[in-house]
Amino acid sequence: MSHVITTEGLTKTYGSRTVVDGLDLRVPEGCVYGFLGPNGSGKSTTMKMLLSLVRPTRGEISVLGRPVDHRTRHELSPHIGSLIEAPPGYGHLTGRENMAVVQRMLGSSDRQVARAVEIVRLGEHMDKRVRDYSLGMKQRLGIATALARDPRLLVLDEPTNGLDPAGIEEIRELLVSLADRGITVMVSSHLLDEVDRMASVLGVLGRGRLIFQGTREELFDRSVPDLLVDTPEPERALDLGLPAVRGPGGLRLSGFDDAATADLVRQLVHHEVPVHGVRRVRQSLEEVFMDLTGREGLS
Amino acid sequence: MILAELVKLRRSALWLVALVLPVLTVTAGALNYAGNRSMLSSGWAPFWSQVVLFYGLLFLSMGVAVLASAAWRMEHRGHNWNLLMSTPIRPAAIVGAKIAALALVVAFMQLVLLVLVAVVGRLVLGLEGMPPWEQAAVAGLAVVAATPVIAVQSLLSMSIRSFAAPVALGLLGCVAGAGVLLGGGGGVLSHLVPQALVSSALFLGNTAVADSASLDPGAVGTIVAAAGALTAAVWALSAVLLARREMR
């Protein structure tokens, strides 16, 4: 699988404070890569390093097959659309004039700009001043500026920040459709639910370190959900000294993988504890993360 | 990039500054001229000398400082730096376009000044004929002479987020420039301090200001050369600093 972004030991320190610590990112081509982590975990700094807006203290970055540094920024930037921290925009200008500024800076064609505006469905608001835009409209304008160059890669930092549920859904559909067109999308969020439904690959950052990277399925595989044993006689099972607590329908046990589950069932049957059913708790992505991060959570 | 800067100037408050400053300058000059008619000879030259006296020493350079702060405030506000620095535009072009856009606004300000001098001179002060061409030439030369101030103030406003701090530093520059000129330093120093260069240009051929040079090709050439060299140096420094800038 070819990767649009790879980093090796990417590190950024400010004074004695390490903000990003030894990241080895692998962002596959054509995917939506969800970059998750709580506020202050180093997501924005990492994205700024990918865009050459911030210089790494240590480590290597390769984007679209080219090393990233201040010399290659001008070669790479026509292919990378970005939205970092908050949408840009000149408040005294209309949406159309803002796009004209971007068009002249990027050397984009009228067609590229019109297409970008059409994709974010901002057409009817283009003659309104940006200072009068809602946050959602500003976000969409920001994404339109990122798209105005026909990018191969989009780096979007919290693009759904401050949006209402309908706006979040709209951005989600937009990003998935862009990935369907072959654009690789790296999108950060501190809210798991937002990313869960659009990202096919996830990177989880905690205190500047990459806690997990892989597909959603691999993430679930990494975590062992609790086991629920349906039995009408949980007391007898507890008397056997099992590390269990009372749960819905009987017992709840943590940390039992498939082999341990088979042993458990064998033990219960051997001691003639009636077993009506054994199942795993359905986990949300958030619970998986909680599991991964030692119940500290992400936000 | 210059085209992008021109779009940013639409409906910008910069035009208001460029309009108000000449109005204040010509009003003050006209009041001074009218109040001292007994001491001044009559005509366009004495009126012009009253107009450019404080304009050359203070108003123009301070106006540039305010314009530069306002122009860069657009970038400091609302995360526009991230946008600017993630385009293929090189730092030298970003800074150069800003300097050029500011020079355009200053040129407009000079044009307003000339028009106001002619209108107020004829209609309010009752001067005969039209202002001499030398005044238009000096006003035009002042745009060139102001480019180092534009470049320096642009560098300060690019580097400092505050609106007021670069303006305050500009005021210090004016004090230094006035000190160089009025202290009789003149010579090379008056062409090295950007604010003093603006004064020197506006005072060319002005008999009301002691030590002012006459409007001849030699004086004009020296001012243009000094302005070109200073602007190029500050532009290059700005581009280097911008290339090294981290977007924290």
Separation of alpha carbons B200 and A94, rounded Å = 41
What string of DSSP letters covers B65-86? Answer: HHHHHHHHHHHHGGGHHHHHHT
Cβ partners under 8 Å of residue B176, min gap 6: B193, B195, B196
CA atoms lying within 13 Å on the CB side of residue B17: 21
Sort out which chain B residues have CB atoms less than 8 A from A144's CB and list them: none
For β-strands A153-157 and A80-83, DSSP reports them as: parallel
Cβ partners under 8 Å of residue A52, min gap 6: A68, A69, A70, A72, A73, A76
pLDDT in tens, A201-226: 999 998 899 988 998 888 877 777 88
pLDDT of residue A27: 96
First to last CA, chain A: 32
Dihedral sign computed on CA atoms, order B198, B201, B202, B208: positive
What string of DSSP letters covers B178-234? Answer: HHHHHTT--HHHHHHSHHHHHHHHHTTT-TTSTTPPPS-HHHHHHHHHHHHHHHHHH
Interchain pair B86, A104: CB under 8 A? no
Q: Is B8 on the interface with A (CB under 8 A)?
A: yes
Q: How many CB atoms lie within 10 A of CB A123?
A: 12
Sort out which chain A residues have CB atoms less than 8 A from B96's CB and list them: none
Taking residues B182-199, what's their average pLDDT?
80
Residue of A96, A105, A143 to mutate when probing chain B, most B C-beta within 10 A: A105
> Which of B80, B88, B247 lies nearest to residue A78, judging by beta carbons?
B88
Tokens (6 digits) for A122:
């901002």
Chain B from 98 to 137: CB within 8 A of any A CB? none
Torsional class of A161: left (φ above 0), alpha (ψ -120 to 50), beta (otherwise): beta
Alpha helices in chain A (DSSP H): 43-50, 73-76, 95-106, 110-119, 135-147, 165-180, 192-196, 216-222, 234-239, 258-270, 285-292
Separation of alpha carbons A225 and A291, rounded Å = 9
pLDDT along chain A (299 residues), means of 10: 93 95 95 90 94 94 92 88 89 95 93 91 92 90 90 92 80 88 92 81 91 85 83 88 85 87 91 90 72 54
Q: What residue of A is the nearest CA neighbor of B244?
A: A70
Separation of alpha carbons A213 and A6, rounded Å = 12
Residue carrying the six token digits 């004086």: B219
Q: What residue of A is the nearest CA neighbor of B3?
A: A104
Tokens (6 digits) for A231:
């039995």
pLDDT of residue B212: 66
Sort out which chain B residues have CB atoms less than 8 A from A54's CB and list them: 246-248
**Are the C-beta atoms of residues A25 and A3 closer than 8 Å to each other?**
no
Q: Is B73 on the interface with A (CB under 8 A)?
A: no
What string of DSSP letters covers A96-140? Answer: HHHHHHHHHHHT--HHHHHHHHHHTT-GGGTTSBGGG--HHHHHH
Residue B114 to chain A, least CA–CA distance (Å)? 29
For β-strands A244-247 and A227-230, DSSP reports them as: unpaired
Tokens (6 digits) for B5:
């800067």
Share of residues in chain B with pLDDT > 70 (%): 96
pLDDT in tens, B37-83: 888 788 899 999 999 988 998 999 999 999 999 999 999 987 899 88
pLDDT in tens, A193-204: 778 788 999 999
pLDDT in tens, A45-68: 999 999 999 999 999 999 999 999
Cα distances (Å, whole numbers) of residue A44 to A66, A77, B238: 21, 17, 26
pLDDT in tens, B96-107: 999 999 999 999
Q: Is B240 on the interface with A (CB under 8 A)?
A: no
The residue segments making up the domain with residue B65 are 2-244
pLDDT of residue A9: 96
Res B14 pLDDT > 90: yes
pLDDT of residue A299: 46
> What's the number of domains chain B is made of?
1
pLDDT of residue B185: 57
Sort out which chain B residues have CB atoms less than 8 A from A107's CB and list them: 88
SS3 content of chain B, % helix, strand, coil (to 5): 80, 0, 20
Q: What residue of A is the nearest CA neighbor of B7?
A: A101
Q: How many CB atoms lie within 10 A of CB A289?
A: 25
**Are the C-beta atoms of residues A203 and A295 closer than 8 Å to each other?**
no
Residue B228 to chain A, least CA–CA distance (Å)? 26
β-sheet bridge partners, residue A155: A82, A186
Residue B210 pLDDT grade (very low, low, confident, very high; cuts 50, 70, 90): low
**Are the C-beta atoms of residues A47 and A84 closer than 8 Å to each other?**
yes
Tokens (6 digits) for A56:
């790494």
> Which of B8, B90, B248 lies nearest to residue A90, judging by beta carbons?
B8
ipTM of predicted assembly, 2 dp: 0.87
> Which of B3, B79, B84 lies nearest to residue A104, judging by beta carbons?
B3
